[in-house]
C-alpha cells in the first residue's frame, strides 16, 4: 500500500523521495544513534524475543508543525509505547525520540515545496483508506548517501 503510493507519487512527478536511496522502505523510527554498541545489539535481541508481531492501525496522515514532511501516523497503543520505552532505555535518546516527545510515523515524503505537499496530500486522500499493518521485526539501519543498509534485524 505505501510502496504503491510512493510509486504513484514518483510516476506523477510529485516526489521521488523514497527512491533517492536504494533499500529505503516503510518504517517507524524508534531511535537515532551514531554508534552501534554491543550492549544495544544484545538489548534489542532480548526485547525482540519478548514481543509478538505488533498490529498497528493507521487512520491519520499529516505533518509536523512547520515541516515539509508528509507522514502516516499509527494509533498509539500500549505495546507500541512499551516497545519504544524499552528501546529508549538502551541508549541516550536524541530529543525527538524520548518517550515524552516521540511521535511514531512513517515518512511518505520529505523536503516538499508547498505545491508538492498539497499534491501529496491530495493523492493520499484519494488512495488511502484506514488500514492495519503488522510490525514483524526491529532493524538497525545505516542511512548513507545513496542507500539504506540493514545492519541487523531481529524478528518478533
Q: Residues with Cβ < 8 Å from 94, sequence gap 6 or more?
A: 31, 32
Write out the residue range of the structural domain in which residue 49 sits. 2-155
SS3 79: helix
Residue-level pLDDT, tens digit, the chain, 156 residues:
899 999 999 999 999 999 999 999 999 999 988 888 899 999 999 999 999 999 999 999 999 999 999 999 999 899 999 999 999 999 888 888 998 999 999 999 999 999 999 999 999 999 999 999 999 999 999 999 999 999 999 999
- Residue 83 belongs to a domain with what CATH number? 3.90.1140.10
Rounded CA-CA distance 27/76 in Å is: 15
Q: Which grid cell is 85?
A: 520505552
> Into how many domains does the chain fold?
1
Residues facing 133 on adjacent strands? 56
Residue 143, SS3 per DSSP: strand
**Which residue has cell 505545491?**
115
Q: What is the pTM of this model?
A: 0.91
**Cell output for 113:** 515545496
Amino acid at each position: 500500500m505505501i510502496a504503491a503510493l510512493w510509486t504513484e507519487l514518483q510516476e506523477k512527478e510529485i516526489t521521488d523521495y523514497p527512491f533517492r536511496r536504494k533499500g529505503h522502505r516503510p518504517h517507524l523510527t524508534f531511535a537515532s544513534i551514531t554508534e552501534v554498541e554491543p550492549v544495544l545489539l544484545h538489548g534489542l535481541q532480548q526485547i525482540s524475543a519478548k514481543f509478538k508481531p505488533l498490529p498497528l492501525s493507521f487512520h491519520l496522515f499529516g505533518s509536523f508543525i512547520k515541516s515539509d514532511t508528509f507522514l502516516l501516523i499509527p494509533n498509539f497503543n500500549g505495546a507500541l509505547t512499551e516497545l519504544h520505552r524499552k528501546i529508549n532505555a538502551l541508549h541516550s535518546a536524541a530529543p525527538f525520540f524520548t518517550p515524552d516527545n516521540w511521535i511514531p510515523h512513517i515518512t511518505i515524503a520529505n523536503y516538499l515545496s508547498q505545491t508538492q505537499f498539497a499534491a501529496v496530500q491530495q493523492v493520499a486522500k484519494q488512495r488511502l483508506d484506514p488500514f492495519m499493518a503488522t510490525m514483524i521485526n526491529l532493524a538497525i539501519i545505516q542511512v548513507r548517501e545513496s542507500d539504506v543498509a540493514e545492519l541487523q534485524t531481529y524478528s518478533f
